[in-house]
Amino acid sequence: MTQTGEKKSWKVGTLTYTTGGLVGLFAWLLWGDFAWAIKERAVSPIVQLMLREFKSSDFINGLLLGTLPAALYMFLGPIVSLKSDRHRGKLGRRIPFLLFPTPIAALALIALAFTPFFGSWLHETLGENSPGLNQSRVICFGVLWGIFEIATVIANSVYNGLINDVVPQPLLGRFFGLFRAFSLAAGILFNFWLIKYAEAHYKWIFISIGVLYGAGFMLMCYKVKEGEYPPPDDKQEGLNFWSNAKEYIRECFSSPFYVWVFIACTVSAMAFMPFNLFSVFYAKSINMSMATYGKIVAMNFAISLCIAYLLGYLADRFHPLRVGMAVILFYGIMTLWAGHYATTVPAFIVAMSCHNVISGMWFTGTASLALRLFPQAKFAQYAAAMGILMSVATMATGPSVGKILDITGHNYRFTFILGSVLAFAGFIAVVILHKKFMRLGGPKGYVPPEI
């Protein structure tokens, strides 16, 4: 940040912002985030309700909602991120990779609204060879869900890279606090007013979300401008696929420090996954209505909204690594209790509320962690490498939790017990990472290690 007279300016790369320019940047990025968040917040509970209506097993649900997106990211994430890091064009190196998949994701969302129709058509077309009406619907859902996830994975691979390229680093924590606040506002909007209609009217909700996301996110892409970048490192030019893959693995996984970043972030993030994947099923198993469920989630999001900016400030003040260390330990303690006592509606409300608020604290408080620890020139590349590890963990976690729930007669308390085990493991990994971080200079003197 520089200051001339009474005018402040902020620089990131070749971009320079006045206060007004920074406000405009934040406004468009946050508008895009709102459109993105509506999609993310609404789709997960609706598809859980759809799969329940189609009588899909928890194992299949885990495969579709956990393993499939992770597998797609594992293969597409590194390719897209590496291409994005090296791309140079009129729109920048990130925007093209956000513009292209957005209409595909929007159209896939709209198509998901007609899954029962497509499933009935497939069932009738196959005749005696049909696996059954519900199974046909699950198959059609899987195809459309796969298309939607492919488009989402491509955008996810470079979204944070765009933020890293255009937002000044001293403001990253506070930006992600606002980022989180807008995401929570979208969650409140959906859960308080709309989720109670999801079972009966999911078709219109899907169509509306598809239109809002497609139009809103593309508008952000046209309004946010990237700066100029130095020419990409050309040492990989002319190498074949396997040579590029070996170089990619060498760069991303040969540093013990970065490997510990991958491990700490992955294990900690996985702690929230068991409950998130099956929260609606859990609520239904104890006879909680979707109207009540939605109001509780909206209230939790309102609490998270109130503390989002504070968490961003704390991340800037003390470093996101330290914020994450405290939060993941707290989550491990809470889920240990919930796994034993969340068997009634009142206890479930307490446990779900704690889960929603604490997991929100983790994702808000550590949102800028990777951006602070990875080298900026190859941020998307390292972020994708971490995504590979997360994908492998997610691919294993989703169906594994689903299988355990099938075996235990759908005893959804195990989602909390498994979350507690992962949280304590994540805490240990974060402590080890913090020690290595301090040896590299800590909050004031850290410089990303070079390979």
Work out the average pLDDT over 376-385. 82
pLDDT score at 418 = 97
Work out the average pLDDT over 230-250. 66
| pLDDT band with cut points at 50, 70 and 90 for residue 390 | confident
Helices (H), 87-228: 95-99, 102-112, 115-126, 133-166, 172-189, 198-223
What phi and psi, each to the nearest 5 degrees, are found at residue 14? Answer: -90, 0
- pLDDT of residue 241 exceeding 70, the answer is no
Nearest to 316 by CA among 175, 173, 447: 173
To the nearest whole percent, how much of the chain has pLDDT over 70?
95
Q: Can you tell me the distance from the alpha carbon of 42 to that of 201, in angstroms, rounded to the nearest whole number?
A: 13
State the CB neighbour count (10 A cutoff) for residue 7.
Answer: 9
pLDDT score at 244 = 65
Token digits of residue 83: 């291409």
| pLDDT band with cut points at 50, 70 and 90 for residue 383 | confident
- pLDDT of residue 239 exceeding 50, the answer is no
CB 23 within 8 A of CB 167: no
Non-local (6+) Cβ contacts of 242 within 8 A are none
Q: Give the CA diameter of the chain.
A: 80
Q: Can you tell me the distance from the alpha carbon of 116 to that of 64, in angstroms, rounded to the nearest whole number?
A: 17
Mean pLDDT of the chain: 90
Task: Write down all domains in the chain, each with its CATH number in brackets.
Answer: 19-226+252-443 (1.20.1250.20)
The whole model's pTM is what?
Answer: 0.75
- pLDDT of residue 234 exceeding 70, the answer is no
